Amino acid sequence: MLQITPRQPRLLIVDGNTRDQREAHASGYDGLSPAQAYAQEVAAIAPGAVTDICLPADEGANLPDGAGLSSYDGIFLTGSSLHIYRVEPAVTRQIELMRAIYASGTPCFGSCWGIQVGAVAAGGTVVQNPKGREIGVARRITLTEAGRTHPLLAGRPLAFDAPAIHLDTIAVPPPGATVLASNAYSAVHAAEIAHDGGVFWGVQYHPEFPLRQVASILRRMTPLIIAEGFRRDEAEAERWLAEIEALDANKTRHDVAWAHGFDEEVLDDARRVTELRNFLEMRVKAGMGARGRG
């Protein structure tokens, strides 16, 4: 009997960073750009998936049109060091691309900058958070009533911590948004947004970041970390980041985990990527079956 091998998902990862930002990330993290690092995390969940990367922050970038977007089974939006309220081509190109993603109907997920792009493209507002920056880990992200039964957050406890590095936050969710999680810093930490025939899932935190990647990014931010009072000087900052890296390398360092207040939602790699796995299973693979692509 002829056996038909199921087709693997075809995925697009949209890197929200400029060339300089991508190169800075790669210099401190195994030579990987943010999109390449994201693809690595996705590949661990969906081995065999075919992944493309596009770079909308770059002038002249070859971006997919509506038909090209529709050819993908799922789209991921990375984080970025850009600020979406600064009107510049590297930003506006990404907003327009997100509007095209909505119109294509292709399942889309975004982290941090990604949820901000998803919100603004649908009519929401993003601002610099008056409460300041969330850095390293977002604490006590709490599910809303809608979030308790939403498939994006299936498997998460009612309150949890997650890797996070962001200054900006969604101030006004767009029409068609359902807020799924919040904490003391950000009223919108997870959301579903329905717009123009498409449905977007996003989180303000970074389930795709292992602790070592968090430390790599924060190391480049050392002057800012000191200026904003998170650490007193370079030596203290370096000790902090070295401990985070040591914990990433050896998850049995319970002394370090206790000192930093990290629990299994952050330390266990399978639990950390809960939202990525849920999106791949419940939107991408389920959508492939519904669209006759599986």
Any idea which residues carry the catalytic annotation? 112, 206, 208
Residue 112: closest CA among 53, 165, 172, 54: 165
Partnered with residue 164 across adjacent β-strands are 136
**Are 196 and 103 in contact, with CB atoms under 8 Å apart?**
yes
Q: Which two tokens stand for residue 237?
A: 């900052």
| C-alpha–C-alpha distance, residues 181 and 158, integer Å | 9
Which amino acid does the sequence have at 293? R
Q: Which helix (H) or strand (E) holds 95?
A: helix 89-104
Interatomic CA distance for residues 40 and 100, integer angstroms: 26
Please state, in angstroms and rounded to a whole number, the distance separating the CA atoms of residues 209 and 191: 19
